[in-house]
Amino acid sequence: MLWKRKQWNDSLEQGIPHIVVDNFFDEETAHKLYDECVNTAPRGGWTNFTRAGSNMEEYNDLFYSKVAHKTTYDLFHSGEFIYELEQLTGIVGLMPDPHLVGAGFSRFRKGKDLKIHHDFNWNDRLRLHRKLTCMLFLNPDWKETWGGHQQYWESRDGEMIDEVAPMFNRFIMFENKKESPYHSVKKLTCPKSQVRTALRIFYYVSSSEYDENDPPHRSIYDTDEYTHTRLYDE
């Protein structure tokens, strides 16, 4: 992905460092990941996250999802891939999370969205600060008019800087930092049969490499009230 360095550097000037890579995997692998997300992952492993009017389904344990498990630990957590991320972003000492806290599969259904927020910046289990967020969209035949865009904002009350449609096999990455990025997911207007699906991977750095003026915090929304409940009826 080093050929995306210009895109990353250009986005730095916007204040929201991020990139977009289309056709990230071969189509067969991407379709297998989608099938696991929609059909294979055990029902009891899914949870429903709601906060500040947002609603998202999450599945953090990829043990039963063979392709996703192999893809995550053989590629995204590999030394070679992490080195490439460091070369692209200039961030040294990146570390993956083997426990996938807050990561793994995510799903949004018709009428759902994710309000403007700032992600959590601290992994208490690893005692590390979150630095990069990566997502691979897994929505075959998705139409841009259906919404579900990843939207980047200059601040909670500021202007939208950019938005990226969740097209099939599209990989996105952005930096988690104090000043940015506030982001959201555009409300879905897709048919009821369609689901916005993604595989999420987070990377961390040690506290000595992080901004001391950005103390650990949970995801920041307009309200601290939230629920996180298990889903059994898919």
**Would you place residue 130 in the very low, low, confident or very high pLDDT band (cuts 50, 70, 90)?**
confident
The pLDDT value given to residue 59: 78
Q: Does residue 138 contact residue 34 with C-beta atoms inside 8 Å?
A: yes
The pLDDT value given to residue 228: 36
Listed ranges 115-129, 136-150, 174-188; the one with the highest mean pLDDT: 136-150
The pLDDT value given to residue 234: 38
| Residue 29 pLDDT > 90 | yes
The pLDDT value given to residue 219: 55
More confident residue, 229 or 61: 61
The pLDDT value given to residue 5: 80
Q: What is the mean pLDDT of the chain?
A: 82
The pLDDT value given to residue 180: 62
**Segment 79-86 mean pLDDT:** 94
Give the largest CA-CA distance in the chain.
47
**Segment 54-68 mean pLDDT:** 78
**pTM reported for the whole predicted model:** 0.85
